[in-house]
Chain A
């Protein structure tokens, strides 16, 4: 199975300041079709996960442009340009390249 490792596991941030989360996979996430199926999700407290990013860097409809994804191969990053109060929660990366699909452990983002 592909192991997804996120860092940090906890990230206290100041409102209006940037934040960054790293996600590293134990194997390349490049599919045989040439696409990298790496996505990011946010789970706010008491809510189901919400999809933010798919295929490394594509935002889902309705996701603010302060969220951006980057990376390739085995190293990926989610960046929030200016953290807002509604961004608090646990962020997960997920790979859908190889079965079984796997998630990172989650990174808890909270306001300082």
Chain B
């Protein structure tokens, strides 16, 4: 069974940093493209970033480009999102997921990031 477990969310001041992690199990992590998606309170879904299976290709939403960095450790089956220069508008529930382009689908439970002074 595919499992994705996010962690690292917290309350942080504007301008601060956080690193989110997503521990994957139940599938061959190194074979799949992964994404981060976020959902602000009471709002819809926003794609944040994606990374290729080997980690060599990365893409970002304009809203986070230059501030967030996606990475992965295929030896540990973990996906990361390093978040710097955080703003109030980054407040959201952050989900990791297997990019929904193959029969193997999975979406985590989410980790909450709150940016506030």
User: Which A residues fall within an 8 A CB radius of B?
Assistant: 35, 37, 39, 41, 48-51, 54-55, 58, 60-61, 92, 94, 96, 99-106
Contacts and interface: CB of A to CB of B under 8 A. Distances in A.
A96 B50 CA distance: 10
Interface of B: 35, 44-47, 50, 59-62, 93, 95, 97, 99-103, 105-110
Contacts of B61: 100
Nearest to B59: A99
A48 B103 contact: no
A105 B103 contact: no
A51 B62 CA distance: 25
A37 B59 contact: no
A41 B107 CA distance: 10
Contacts of B35: 101
15 contacts: A41-B100, A41-B107, A48-B107, A48-B108, A48-B109, A49-B45, A60-B105, A96-B100, A99-B50, A100-B62, A101-B47, A103-B44, A103-B46, A104-B44, A106-B44
Contacts of A106: 44-45
A51 B102 CA distance: 11
- Counting chain B CB atoms within 10 Å of each CB, the highest count among A39, A49, A92, A106 belongs to A49
A60 B103 CA distance: 6
A37 B101 contact: yes
Given A100-B61, A101-B35, A54 B46 contact: no
B110 A48 contact: yes
A112 B103 CA distance: 33
Interface centre among A48, A51, A60 (most CB of B within 10 A): A48
Contacts of A103: 44-47
A109 to B, nearest CB: 15
A46 to B, nearest CB: 11
Contact of A101 (B50, B105, B108, B110): B50
Contacts of B107: 41, 48-51
A61 B44 contact: no
Contacts of B95: 48-49
B31 to A, nearest CB: 16
